[in-house]
Amino acid sequence: MTMPPLPSAEGNRRGTAARGGPGVAVLDRGALVGSCNIRTEAVDLSSVGPRLHRSRELAAQRPEAFGIPLPTLRPRVVGRVLPEGREALCTPAPQRRGGQPRPAGDATPPDPPQRFTRIVPPRDVVKLEDRLAYLLQPPLENLLTVEALAFPFRPFPYQLDGVAYLYPRREAVLADEMGLGKTMQTVVALRLLARQGHVRRALLICPKPLVTNWRREFAIWAPELPVTVVEGSLAQRDWLWNNAVQGVLLANYEIVVRDRRHAVEAGQPYDLVVVDEAQRIKNRDGATNEAVCSLPRTRSWALTGTPIENSADDLVGIFDFVSPGRLRPHMKTPAIRRAVADHVLRRTKEHVLTQLPPKLFRDAELTLTPEQWETYQRAERDGVVRLNHLGTELTIQHVFELILRLKQICNFDPATGASAKLDRLEADLEECAASGRKAIVFSQWVDTIDQLSRRLSRFGPLEYHGRVPTRLRDSVIEQFRSDPQRQVLLMSYGAGSVGLNLQFASYVFLFDRWWNPAVEDQAVNRAHRIGASGPVTISRFLAVGTIEERIDRVLAEKRELFSAVFDGEPGAASMGLSREEIFGLFKLKFPEAA
Amino acid sequence: MDAPTSKALPAFGFLTVLESAGHGLFGGYLVLSPQGRPLEFRCTTPVVATRAQEILYGPTLQPYLLGEVIGPALLNGAELPVAALLTDQRDMLGLALVRHEELLLIEPLQRREAEPSRELALPSSPAVGGASAVLGGCRVTAAATSVLSAESLHALLEPLTAHVYLAEPFDRIRAALLEAQQATLDAAELDDDHAAAA
Is residue A571 over pLDDT 80?
A: no
- pLDDT confidence of residue A493: 87
Is residue A52 over pLDDT 70?
A: no
Q: Which amino acid is at A130?
A: D
pLDDT digits (tens, 9 = 90+) for B28-37: 999 999 989 9
Give all strands (DSSP E) within A8-50, no chain letters.
Answer: 32-33, 36-37
Q: Quickly count: other Cβ atoms within 10 Å of residue B117's Cβ.
A: 7
Query: In this complex, is the C-beta atom of A89 within 8 Å of any C-beta atom belonging to chain B?
Result: yes
Query: What is the spatial distance between Cα A307 and Cα A576, in angstroms, rounded to a whole number?
Result: 13
SS3 label, residue A248 = strand
Banded model confidence at residue A113, pLDDT cuts 50, 70, 90: low
| Residue in B with minimal Cα distance to A146 | B35
Banded model confidence at residue A179, pLDDT cuts 50, 70, 90: low
Looking at chain B, the whole-number percentage of residues with pLDDT higher than 70 is 84
CB contact under 8 A, A68 and B152: no
Contacts 24+ apart (CB under 8 A), B122-131: B122/B90, B123/B59, B123/B60, B123/B63, B125/B63, B125/B90, B125/B91, B125/B93, B125/B94, B127/B63, B127/B67, B127/B90, B127/B93, B127/B94, B127/B96, B127/B97, B128/B90, B128/B93
Question: Which residues of chain A from 119 to 178 reach within 8 Å of chain B, CB to CB?
Answer: 128, 131-133, 135-139, 142, 145-146
pLDDT digits (tens, 9 = 90+) for A137-174: 999 888 887 777 778 778 888 899 999 999 999 999 99
**DSSP alpha helices (H): ranges in A483-541?**
493-496, 517-524
Banded model confidence at residue A451, pLDDT cuts 50, 70, 90: very high
| Residue in B with minimal Cα distance to A126 | B183
Residues of chain B neighbouring A80 (CB-CB closer than 8 A): 40-42
Q: Bigger pLDDT: A301 or A477?
A: A301
Residues 6+ apart with CB under 8 A from B71: B15, B27, B92, B94, B95
CATH of range A128-350; options 3.40.50.10810, 1.10.3720.10, 3.90.1150.140, 3.20.20.70: 3.40.50.10810
pLDDT digits (tens, 9 = 90+) for B43-70: 999 999 988 888 888 999 999 999 999 9
| Residue in A with minimal Cα distance to B46 | A9
A281, A282, A284, A286 alpha-carbon torsion, rounded to 10°: -50
CB contact under 8 A, A75 and B168: no
Radius of gyration of chain A (CA): 34
CB contact under 8 A, B42 and A139: no
Q: Are domains A128-350 and A359-584 of this chain identical in fold? A: yes
Taking the CA of residue A196 and the nearest CA in chain B, the distance in Å comes to 12
- pLDDT confidence of residue A38: 35
**What DSSP state is assigned to residue A310?**
S
Q: What is the pTM of this model?
A: 0.65
Measuring CA to CA, how many Å separate A223 from each of A151, A218, A432? 10, 6, 38
pLDDT digits (tens, 9 = 90+) for B154-170: 999 998 988 899 999 99
Residues 6+ apart with CB under 8 A from A473: A209, A464, A495
- pLDDT confidence of residue B84: 94
- pLDDT confidence of residue A491: 92
CB contact under 8 A, A112 and B110: yes
- pLDDT confidence of residue B44: 94
Is residue B8 over pLDDT 60?
A: no
Question: Which residues of chain B from 68 to 127 reach within 8 Å of chain A, CB to CB?
Answer: 69-70, 73-74, 76-77, 79-80, 108-110
CB nearest to B46's CB, from A9, A70, A142 = A9
Residues 6+ apart with CB under 8 A from A22: none
Residues of chain A neighbouring B165 (CB-CB closer than 8 A): 110, 112-113, 116, 142
pLDDT digits (tens, 9 = 90+) for A544-561: 999 998 888 777 766 666
- pLDDT confidence of residue A17: 36
User: Average pLDDT, stretch A32-52?
Assistant: 44
- pLDDT confidence of residue B110: 66
Q: Bigger pLDDT: B150 or B125?
A: B150
pLDDT digits (tens, 9 = 90+) for B83-121: 999 999 999 999 998 899 999 999 998 654 544 444 433
User: Average pLDDT, stretch A60-71?
Assistant: 70
CB contact under 8 A, B9 and A6: no
Taking the CA of residue A104 and the nearest CA in chain B, the distance in Å comes to 5
CB nearest to B137's CB, from A16, A109, A137 = A109
CB contact under 8 A, A85 and B188: no
Query: In this complex, is the C-beta atom of A43 within 8 Å of any C-beta atom belonging to chain B?
Result: no
Query: In this complex, is the C-beta atom of A381 within 8 Å of any C-beta atom belonging to chain B?
Result: no
Measuring CA to CA, how many Å separate A213 from each of A210, A279, A462, A500? 5, 18, 20, 7
- pLDDT confidence of residue A102: 42
Query: In this complex, is the C-beta atom of B190 within 8 Å of any C-beta atom belonging to chain A?
Result: no
Residues of chain A neighbouring B31 (CB-CB closer than 8 A): 85
Q: Bigger pLDDT: A305 or B74?
A: B74
CB nearest to B30's CB, from A107, A110, A136 = A136
Interface predicted TM-score of the whole assembly (ipTM), two decimals: 0.85
**What DSSP state is assigned to residue A210?**
G
Query: What is the spatial distance between Cα A474 and Cα A212, in angstroms, rounded to a whole number?
Result: 8
CB contact under 8 A, A104 and B52: no
Looking at chain A, the whole-number percentage of residues with pLDDT higher than 90 is 32
CB nearest to B52's CB, from A70, A103, A128 = A70
CATH of range A359-584; options 3.40.50.720, 3.30.9.10, 3.40.50.1000, 3.40.50.300: 3.40.50.300
Residues of chain A neighbouring B50 (CB-CB closer than 8 A): 13, 16-18, 70-71
Residues of chain A neighbouring B10 (CB-CB closer than 8 A): 93-94, 96
Mean pLDDT score of chain A: 79
CB contact under 8 A, B38 and A136: yes
Mean pLDDT score of chain B: 84
Banded model confidence at residue A40, pLDDT cuts 50, 70, 90: very low
- pLDDT confidence of residue A554: 75
Which residues face B140 on adjacent strands?
A: B106, B133
Domain ranges of chain A: 128-350, 359-584
Taking the CA of residue A323 and the nearest CA in chain B, the distance in Å comes to 25
Chains A and B form CB pairs within 8 A to the count of: 221
